[in-house]
Amino acid sequence: MAYYRFIIYGEVQCVYYRKFVSQAMMKKQFKGYIRNLSDGTVEVVAEVFDDDFESVMKILNEGSPLSKVKNINYEVVEDVTFRTDGFEIRQ
């Protein structure tokens, strides 16, 4: 298990991307959060088990029907500062 930080590029704000992703992540019982960043990207921080990485990437790439994901960068993060039993949308 590792904590990942994903940055999603494309048309991902004002198109229900956060809501769609948070619901899909909750359905799969992932823990973490999603939020808009001021540069027009979206950040996702999630607890991901090795076997689930491709499932997370599929959710993030698919997005909402109105979104257009162009690129996703990710990194493993050590200093995770969220405490949640589920997956939440942050402002």
CB 9 within 8 A of CB 69: yes
Residue 83: DSSP 8-state: -
What residues does each domain of the chain span?
2-77+84-90
Fold of 2-77+84-90: Alpha-Beta Plaits (3.30.70)
**Which residue of the set 18, 61, 71, 90 is catalytic?**
18
Phi, then psi, of 68 in degrees rounded to 5: -135, 100
Q: Is 36 one of the annotated active-site residues of the chain?
A: yes
Per-residue confidence in pLDDT tens, the chain, 91 aa: 899 999 999 999 999 999 999 999 999 999 999 999 999 999 999 999 989 999 999 999 999 999 999 999 999 998 777 677 789 999 8
Q: What is the pTM of this model?
A: 0.93
Ranges of H-type helices in the chain: 17-27, 53-62
Point out the catalytic residue in the list 5, 35, 36, 71.
Answer: 36
